[in-house]
Structure 1
Amino acid sequence: MNLTEQLSITAKENPHKTAYVFQDKETSYMELEESVTKFASRLQELGYKKGDHIALVVGNSPYYVIALYGALRMGAVIIPINPLYTAHEMSYILKNGDVKAVITMDVLLEKFEAIADQVPSVKHYISCESGANISLDESPLSAKLKSFTQLIQEGNLEFDAPQMSDEDTAIILYTSGTTGKPKGAMLSHKNIYSNAKDTADYLTISGEDRVIAALPMFHVFCLTVSLNAPLMNGGTVLIMPKFSPQEVFKIATDHKATIFAGVPTMYNYLLQSAEGNSSAFAGIRLCISGGAAMPVALLGQFEKAFNAIISEGYGLSEASPVTCFNPLDQPRKPGSIGKSIINVENKVVDEFGEEVEAGEVGELAVRGPNVMKGYYKLEEETALALRDGWLHTGDMARMDDEGYFYIVDRKKDMILVGGYNVYPREVEEVLYEHPSIAEAAVIGTPHPETGESVLSFVVTKDPSLNDDILMEFCKMHLAKYKVPSKIEFMDELPKNTTGKILRKNLRNKVEQ
């Protein structure tokens, strides 16, 4: 079984059920199924074959859903790319990923025009209309351009899909690693189908659920939790073109949303906009957080303001991505990423790969049907990540006596102060406890005596707050070697498109 086969089954069983809502327009499962089949048939007629690599550079929209499922049905390997990437960043992925076709928005064509000569392997650029009335005839790419809408109109419902095995590669996700070039994690049909199903089962996502897709669809968190998991069971996806607190409140109210998934930064923005909107989440039965550690103080404040429950989980691209979630039928532990989801095993290991005792810190390792095949064209990196059947995540964690896991920090983010380990998250948690702190991030910086020292960046709600007051607050709650040597105040912390705080950018700021 794979995602597109499951879509066909759902469409046959519930043809008139709403699959997704976009800009208040509802689309049924049968309408989605027919568009997917027509798009798949036209890709095949254009000469694309099973195993060909197709880049998907589209924002949250029906285009994304139809293109993803249609290309997968045809047997293509999808490479999602962040539409905000520069032409240079896209060029690397297109070349390294051996891409033969690009599906993108008409407003992004200029980026591809700039790099077309560098990627001669791309046969077609399939353009999705943005409503900006862009003339494709004048584009230097016009000879290779195809209209997405026209392809679907010309498609054939009598399409015969190629035979696909569970182990065939379905998606290659280029991870945004903090060092070096991005690596392409190869996910099989089994990987993405099993993780969508196991996540849906663990979080009891059903056909009655209406899930807000506010996270970017090119990111695997949204792909699995907000898109594939609800479609797996006949639920409805409420597609947001981009995140906005007021739009979230409006969609939640107007379309009777039951589930919201986001990263901690989104919850912070929603909390800052809570006044007058606290009832908007009255119908939300579950809030899901992932992508980065949720500060415990933020979790408590949000739940109190909205009378909602947040289930924090954990995942990574190489695991399709979900490995843990706080269970819904057992006590939830704030600060914990929860327990292993169905069919997935997690353990904490030392540098030799041996499991450590409960309570001890080590590297989190994962095993299950969701774990990637490997990195595309990178055998050495694959061998380092996949050892003895376990994916080594690079995240430092501990497990308590009841099987709940806690992420301590990224292995590479750990700060070594005079021989003592300092985990940035521990310091950040203390900073978030101060009532005047809106955002906080901690990095290590070289120090002539201790090797490294702790440097904090904060965004404050109170302009009168200064570093002396905050430093005293830290000294009350942290051992001396964990106290920041310096605190910098910023108007906003740098973030990626999913809202994750970019420590790399903060390090670069310090080095300049």
Structure 2
Amino acid sequence: MEKIWLKNYEPSIPAEIDPDRYSSLVDIFEQSVNKFAATTSYINMGCSITFNELDKLSRDFAAYLQQSGLQKGDAVAIMMPNLLQYPVALFGILRAGMVVVNVNPLYTARELQHQLKDSDAKAIVIVENFAHTLCEVLANTNVQTVLLTSLGDMLSPLKKVITNFVVKHVKKLVPAFSLPQAVSFIQALEIGQKHDYQRPELTGDDLAFLQYTGGTTGVSKGAMLTHRNIVANLEQISGILEVVIKPGEEFVVTALPLYHIFALQANCLTFVKFGCPNLLITNPRDMPGFVKELAKYPFTVLTGVNTLFNGLLNTPGFADLDFSRLNFALGGGMAVQRPVAERWQKVTGHVLLEGYGLTECCPVVTVNSPKITEYKGSIGLPVPSTEIKLVDEEGQEVAHGEAGEMLVKGPQVMLGYLNRPEATNEMIVDGWLSTGDIARCDDDGYFYLVDRKKDMILVSGFNVFPNEIEEVAAMHPDVVEAAAVGVPNEATGELVKLFVVRRNSALTEQMIIEHCRKNLTGYKVPKKVEFRDELPKTNVGKILRRELRDK
């Protein structure tokens, strides 16, 4: 389709970016750590490291990996929450010319074994809290090197001792394990410090990440993301955000896990490029603790998913924070609901921006300008050098203004799925990647996410999109969050069932249905309502509709 969105770009935003401006992520990293050497790079649990220290530590880790017998292109897994160790390991692996395999620390043994075997990982950096899971599967993988760390290993000496003692012996968060061959992460840094580091020759075609996706919809697949893919998406994001970001001055809050593509790109890599401090939240599920951390720092950028923002808004003390320095907050990973966005703006005085992406696109495809003054309900404009078309079930472009599946083409589109040519060919045809998401485009080029294609509910031949039902339900003052799914029905094929977490136990099924009936056409109104204490979610906060549907 015609790039009608370009007319709404800020004057400084380029229509196209140069995906080959940097030969690799290592180029960007080296320039940033030199330019912002004295600036704080990461903060966690009250301790921090500068960009200069990040440079030295990641260099030492890269040297360790190289001297351990690993080769350029080998896959190295990272299995940890947000800790100072994460960026050190991440950039060390990249600087060694190796491939990062991000692993969810909460994986079961089966999931971990699949990912380690599928990626052919030769090494893993793991926090001891999850080492017992690795013990179950290590013998069935090709992992040769295990690097073990404790939660407090990169804190100040006294804080390290206290934190590790409390985690192990007071809270008992480290199940028993036996990994006699493991090398401590700190010891690896010490060994690496004594060895030479050989900067590898990297090009845009070299793999940077094997980022696994699709675990909730089938076998988890490794998206092959090259240095050129990631660099291109960084340049695309920069083209949009440079109008408001002050290099070296922003203060970024990272509550989503860095192993997830959204936080990896939008927080970790983007703000290393811009040389800004990054506050790592290890356990964002502890909302009161999260709010206490926010109260300590002059934060200017906050990213998250809808459930995270909703959780903050419902946590005592959040509304009392100082939002005077907040530059922007960005929601992604799932649709931002209007009631949440409107309440966010009322409480903070700032618009909750919304963007859209997926792992296979590194991930950013569209984003709203940080200069908008109110929530639009839109996922924004396509980022530079990105083409989008909307198609029907037959693959034909739909008429302007109609909803269709979103196909994406651009330099951020992955190389393909590792060892899965059939899945790759199903996903990418003639350079166009099928997102599986239904969207529409308005006259100004703004895109609106209608829903996931696979989550669509079919009621008497009419398409019903769960996002719409959930957004209406969330408008009720006694609804904390909601999820809509289709359940079989003899008369209509499917009917809408709504799962609700309520704020007030006096809220009844009939009250919810009546509320929805006032805001939705008849066939969209839920016919069943089930109250839950909580809804099942992925580790980054996406509601698992499929799990609700299957049960």
**Letter aligned with residue 174 of structure 1:** Y
- 2:119 aligned partner: 97
2:254 and 2:303 in contact (8 A); partners too = yes
- Alpha-carbon distance between aligned partners in 2 of 1:122 and 1:78, rounded to the nearest angstrom: 14
Give the drift of 1:331: 6.0
CA offsets, 1:476-501, max 9 Å, x none? 22111111110111111111111111
- 1:149 aligned partner: 186
- Alpha-carbon distance between aligned partners in 2 of 1:38 and 1:386, rounded to the nearest angstrom: 39
Task: Kindly report which structure 2 residues correspond to 1:300-311, keeping only aligned pairs within 5 A, or say none.
Answer: 300-311=342-353
Give the drift of 1:116: 1.8
Matched, 1:165 2:207: no
Give the drift of 1:203: 2.2
Q: Which has the higher contact order (CA 8 A, sep 6+)?
A: 2
- Alpha-carbon distance between aligned partners in 2 of 1:51 and 1:328, rounded to the nearest angstrom: 37
- Alpha-carbon distance between aligned partners in 1 of 2:401 and 2:320, rounded to the nearest angstrom: 37
Moved more, 476-485 or 81-90: 476-485
**Letter aligned with residue 277 of structure 2:** T
Matched, 1:44 2:44: no
1:432 and 1:438 in contact (8 A); partners too = yes
1:324 corresponds to which of 366, 371, 377: 366
- 2:160 aligned partner: none
5+ long unaligned stretches in structure 2:
1-21, 153-163
1:250 and 1:280 in contact (8 A); partners too = no
Give the drift of 1:330: 4.9
1:237 corresponds to which of 278, 284, 301: 278
Matched, 1:386 2:428: yes
Task: Kindly report which structure 2 residues correspond to 1:101-250, keeping only aligned pairs within 5 A, or say none.
Answer: 101-119=123-141, 121-131=142-152, 132=164, 140-143=178-181, 145-156=182-193, 158-204=196-242, 205=245, 206-243=247-284, 244-250=286-292
Task: Kindly report which structure 2 residues correspond to 1:379-418, keeping only aligned pairs within 5 A, or say none.
Answer: 379-418=421-460
Give the drift of 1:139: 5.7
Matched length? 506
Moved more, 403-412 or 342-351: 342-351
1:350 corresponds to which of 374, 392, 396: 392
- 2:109 aligned partner: 87
- Alpha-carbon distance between aligned partners in 1 of 2:225 and 2:147, rounded to the nearest angstrom: 24
DSSP-derived class of the 1:470 partner: helix
DSSP-derived class of the 2:322 partner: helix
- Alpha-carbon distance between aligned partners in 2 of 1:352 and 1:449, rounded to the nearest angstrom: 28
Matched, 1:486 2:520: no
2:288 and 2:316 in contact (8 A); partners too = no
Moved more, 191-200 or 161-170: 191-200
CA offsets, 1:375-395, max 9 Å, x none? 111101101111111111000
Moved more, 242-251 or 403-412: 242-251
1:458 corresponds to which of 500, 513, 525: 500
1:249 and 1:280 in contact (8 A); partners too = no
- Alpha-carbon distance between aligned partners in 2 of 1:163 and 1:351, rounded to the nearest angstrom: 44
DSSP-derived class of the 1:161 partner: coil
2:332 corresponds to which of 290, 313, 324: 290
CA offsets, 1:20-66, max 9 Å, x none? 11222221111100111111011010011111111111110111101
Give the drift of 1:95: 1.1
- Percent same amino acid among aligned pairs? 38
**Letter aligned with residue 387 of structure 2:** E
1:303 and 1:310 in contact (8 A); partners too = yes
**Letter aligned with residue 237 of structure 1:** N
Matched, 1:469 2:511: yes
CA offsets, 1:143-185, max 9 Å, x none? 3x11111111122474121111101111011113433211111
Give the drift of 1:344: 2.3
DSSP-derived class of the 1:82 partner: coil
TM-score (norm 1): 0.95
CA offsets, 1:204-263, max 9 Å, x none? 333211100110111001001111101011111111112143344333332211000010
- Alpha-carbon distance between aligned partners in 1 of 2:499 and 2:319, rounded to the nearest angstrom: 29
Give the drift of 1:368: 1.3
Give the drift of 1:274: 5.2
Matched, 1:428 2:470: yes
Moved more, 196-205 or 456-465: 196-205
TM-score (norm 2): 0.88
2:319 and 2:347 in contact (8 A); partners too = no
5+ long unaligned stretches in structure 1:
none
CA offsets, 1:304-349, max 9 Å, x none? 0121221101110000001111112456552110111222222322
1:252 and 1:280 in contact (8 A); partners too = no
- Alpha-carbon distance between aligned partners in 2 of 1:181 and 1:37, rounded to the nearest angstrom: 35
DSSP-derived class of the 2:295 partner: helix
1:326 and 1:333 in contact (8 A); partners too = no
1:252 and 1:281 in contact (8 A); partners too = no
Moved more, 284-293 or 13-22: 13-22
- Alpha-carbon distance between aligned partners in 2 of 1:328 and 1:346, rounded to the nearest angstrom: 21
Moved more, 327-336 or 199-208: 327-336
- Alpha-carbon distance between aligned partners in 2 of 1:438 and 1:463, rounded to the nearest angstrom: 12
- Alpha-carbon distance between aligned partners in 1 of 2:89 and 2:234, rounded to the nearest angstrom: 18
**Letter aligned with residue 80 of structure 1:** N
Give the drift of 1:281: 2.5
**Letter aligned with residue 115 of structure 2:** I
**Letter aligned with residue 416 of structure 2:** G
- 1:78 aligned partner: 100
DSSP-derived class of the 1:280 partner: coil
2:304 and 2:330 in contact (8 A); partners too = yes
2:490 corresponds to which of 443, 448, 466: 448
1:249 and 1:277 in contact (8 A); partners too = no
CA offsets, 1:105-138, max 9 Å, x none? 122221111112211x1101111123546799x9
CA gap of 1:246–1:277, structure 2 versus 1, over 3 A, is farther
Matched, 1:376 2:397: no
- 1:361 aligned partner: 403
1:197 and 1:229 in contact (8 A); partners too = no
Give the drift of 1:275: 4.9
1:326 and 1:338 in contact (8 A); partners too = yes
Moved more, 406-415 or 473-482: 473-482
Task: Kindly report which structure 2 residues correspond to 1:19-30, keeping only aligned pairs within 5 A, or say none.
Answer: 19-30=41-52
**Letter aligned with residue 126 of structure 1:** L
CA gap of 1:434–1:140, structure 2 versus 1, over 3 A, is closer
**Letter aligned with residue 153 of structure 1:** E
2:369 and 2:380 in contact (8 A); partners too = yes
